[in-house]
Amino acid sequence: MNVFKLIEDNGLTLHGDIEHFAELIRREEREACAKIAEQWPYEDERMFSIAQAIRARGEQ
């Protein structure tokens, strides 16, 4: 993840947008973790449930 691209793509500045920026970082991290769970190399349906649970954390 390129932090500066994330800032630019979302129309933010480094001055005054820190809360929004922090949420963007959290969202990116949740998605990265969910993708790892989905790509688990073993046949295990639980990993899809785990990926869904990770993504749902952003909706709480």
* The predicted structure's pLDDT at residue 1: 63
The separation between the first and the last C-alpha atoms of the chain, rounded to the nearest angstrom, is: 24
For residue 60, what is the enclosing H or E element?
none
Region for 16 from its dihedrals, namely left if φ exceeds 0, alpha if ψ lies in -120 to 50, beta otherwise = left
- Backbone φ and ψ for 16, nearest 5 degrees, come out as 95, -10
In tens, the pLDDT along 3-44 reads 778 778 888 776 767 777 788 889 999 999 999 998 888 777
Interhelix angle 18-38/46-56, nearest 10 degrees: 170
Q: Which residue has the higher pLDDT, 48 or 20?
A: 48
